[in-house]
Amino acid sequence: MRSNTVVANYGDNVKYYFITTIFMFGAGSSYAFTFQEAIESISKHASVQAIEQKSNATEQEGKNMSAWGDPMLKVTAKNFPIESLSFDQTPMTGIEFGIAQNIPITNKFGKIQDAYNQLALATQYQSQDKKRELIRSLWLILIENQKIDEEIKIVEENLQWIDNIVLISQRLYANGSISQQALLDIKIRQSELDAQLSNKRFTLKEQVDLLGYLLGFDHSSIDKDSIPWSVLDQADENLNDAKVKSMQHMVASKESALIAKKRDLVPDVTLSLGYTLRSDVDQNGDFVSATIGFPFPVSGKKTASRIKAMHEKVSAEKNLEDYNIFKESRLRQQKNRIEMINQELVILNERTIEFAKNSREITSKSYSHGTSTYIELLQSELKLQELLLQQSQLEAELRATKVAYKYLSGGNLHV
């Protein structure tokens, strides 16, 4: 009776897993994204667009900060007698029309514009890096899904095997070949596998929420057949590290800003022109005037601003230098990690797992004939499952490390 219930539960488990897989990966579903459609969706992600808009705003800010400023127009009523306010009573009375403009002697505003343009480019590359970061996250989710998929198959196969062992154990118990404790221990292991399978199914469902953030919860599924796993093994010839380029443009921005601050030590000139309309009571006609003025830098404000710009430039250079050193170190570590995992998988696939499969098969046959104990049987089963899960874990770790290497090196993360 128990074994029939287990077989029925197993069938329900397979059915549930099949439905969950279709929901998760969208096999044959019109609502599922292909991998390429997912990439296009990530390009429109709110976090990417937010940085792009910041870049556009920075560019416009540069145009604002590098402009000379608007000329100032003024009209002045001059020297009207307070008692009569007469226009033609004195030769000093008149109405002056004036225009004034601030004029830089150096081309500091050109450097200010360049500083903001470089900053806008740095921000634009930040948006590209954000997109690559989200694509990396997509890959990590898909890798985890693939691992859970494999683990479910491992547990299902193991559960099917243990169900058969339960049937054999019941027969041996009826014949008096094994104790009731042995039968109970095997059924306990059967229940543990049921729990493992249930937990992994729910873990698979949790991945939907992670995809929902990247793709939107209306399209939080990926067509499994569209995932280009081969991309992870392709060599990259043209590397494009958006983070490094962003930091390089940041350095260029700080360099231009420093040059602008140095040139700002030369004060701007304010030129004013005026025309005074008079009544001509002294027959000298209208008056014209011109004024030139400039600030006298004695406060130390501009010097402090220049020193600040110098420190910001050095800081940006050091950030770039530090990142390049970190990047080289991290890439070396990841490359060594890939080689180590590959070697471990070769040993695991070619020898260890094969030995464990043979061991379980031999122990299973011996147990059915009453020559092996149930403890030996469970140990062989546990060992094989442990090795198969280790294989799945290593393969997932290998793929994740390859994704990390491609992201950090500036390699291609999609077709």
- pLDDT at 223 (0 to 100): 87
Q: Which two tokens stand for residue 310?
A: 């110098």
Q: What pLDDT, in 10s, does the model give residues 176-214?
A: 888 889 889 989 988 999 999 999 888 888 887 788 888
Q: Which two tokens stand for residue 287?
A: 């008056």
Rounded mean pLDDT of 223-236? 91
pTM of the model: 0.81
- pLDDT at 215 (0 to 100): 86
Question: Comparing 228 with 294, which gets the higher pLDDT?
Answer: 228
Q: Is 20 a residue whose pLDDT tops 50?
A: no
Question: Comparing 389 with 221, which gets the higher pLDDT?
Answer: 389
Q: CA 19 → CA 205, 223, 228, distances in Å?
A: 11, 14, 23
Q: What pLDDT, in 10s, does the model give residues 25-47?
A: 443 344 678 899 999 999 999 99
CB atoms inside a 10 Å sphere around CB 196: 19
Four-point Cα dihedral 157, 159, 164, 169, nearest 10: 140
Q: What pLDDT, in 10s, does the model give residues 42-101?
A: 999 999 999 999 999 999 999 999 888 889 999 999 889 888 888 888 888 889 999 999
- pLDDT at 173 (0 to 100): 86
**pLDDT band at 220, cuts 50/70/90?**
low
From CA 57, how far away is CA 47, in angstroms rounded? 16
Which of 257, 311, 252 lies closest to 65 in space, CA to CA? 257
Rounded mean pLDDT of 94-122? 92
Q: What pLDDT, in 10s, does the model give residues 247-298?
A: 999 999 999 999 999 998 888 899 999 999 988 888 888 899 999 988 877 7
Which of 159, 154, 168 lies closest to 364 in space, CA to CA? 168
For 299-324, give the DSSP string: SSHHHHHHHHHHHHHHHHHHHHHHHH
- pLDDT at 250 (0 to 100): 97
From CA 4, how far away is CA 387, in angstroms rounded? 29
Q: Which of 17-31, 87-101, 111-125 has the highest mean pLDDT?
A: 111-125
